Every structure is written in structure tokens, then in C-alpha cells.
Amino acid sequence: MSRAFRILIALAGLMGAAGVVLAAASAHGTDASRLAAASSMLLFHATAVLATTALLARGLLHGGIGRAAAFGFVTGAALFAGDLTMRQYAGHALFPYAAPTGGTLMIASWLALTVAAVWPRG
């Protein structure tokens, strides 16, 4: 298994753990809807990273594009969830437009995954 795959799997594990922590914080906190959204993005995209890595390992995706999509899922979800979590606990954004940047990156990563599935693997 390549080093990139191991890194992606480890990052997905961290995303999943953080997603569960934020879900618990959301369930026990008052006015914590931001944390629920952050949790969802981390959990959904942790699964997407694992699935993308599995598809790459089986040779079903264009390698470079598929890896870019997987790392885009990680980065986008981290920006999105990090911004919402900072807003919840610190009262300010991670940096201006962090959540929309993360969301845009996640959308772009889903589109990249689509391209990786149909692009010749040559």
C-alpha cells in the first residue's frame, strides 16, 4: 500500500473521530447547530476518503485525479468544520471565507472524483 493511501486512511480516521466528538458536543450543548453541521461534513467526507482510497487501490480511478479528490475532501472538510467550530467556541471565524472555501473545495473534489472515474487510466 502506498504512503499516500496510508496517510489518507489515517486522515479519514481522524476526521471520523473528530466528527463523533463534534456530534457529542452538539448533542450536549445549547445552540450548537454549527457543531452538528461540522460533524456531518467530517463524517460524510471521512467515508468518501475511505471509499476513494479503496477505489484507487483497485485501479478503478485515475490515480492522480483520484488522489487530488481524496486530499481535497480532507482539506475542504477540515476548513469547513474548523471554521464552524471556531465560530462556536471562539466567537470568530478561522479566517475570512474559510467555510465557503472548504465547501467549494468539497464540491470540486466530488467533481474531480467524477472525472477520475471516467478519465482514461492509461
Helix residue spans in the chain (DSSP H): 3-28, 33-57, 63-89, 98-118
pLDDT tens-place string over residues 32-41: 889 999 999 9
Residue 33 CB partners (closer than 8 Å, separation 6+): 26
pLDDT of residue 70: 98
Residue 46: give the domain boundaries.
3-118
Report the domain count for the chain.
1
pLDDT tens-place string over residues 14-24: 999 999 999 99
At 120, the pLDDT band (50, 70, 90 cuts) reads: confident
Q: What is the mean pLDDT of residues 83-106?
A: 97
CA distances from 113 to 33, 69, 82 (A): 29, 6, 23
At 12, the pLDDT band (50, 70, 90 cuts) reads: very high
Nine cell digits for residue 43: 463524517
Q: How many CA atoms lie within 13 A of 24 on its CB side?
A: 5
Which CATH number does the domain housing residue 11 bear? Answer: 1.20.120
pLDDT tens-place string over residues 50-92: 999 999 999 999 999 999 999 999 999 999 999 999 999 999 9
What's the pTM? Answer: 0.95
pLDDT of residue 32: 87
At 122, the pLDDT band (50, 70, 90 cuts) reads: low
pLDDT of residue 96: 97
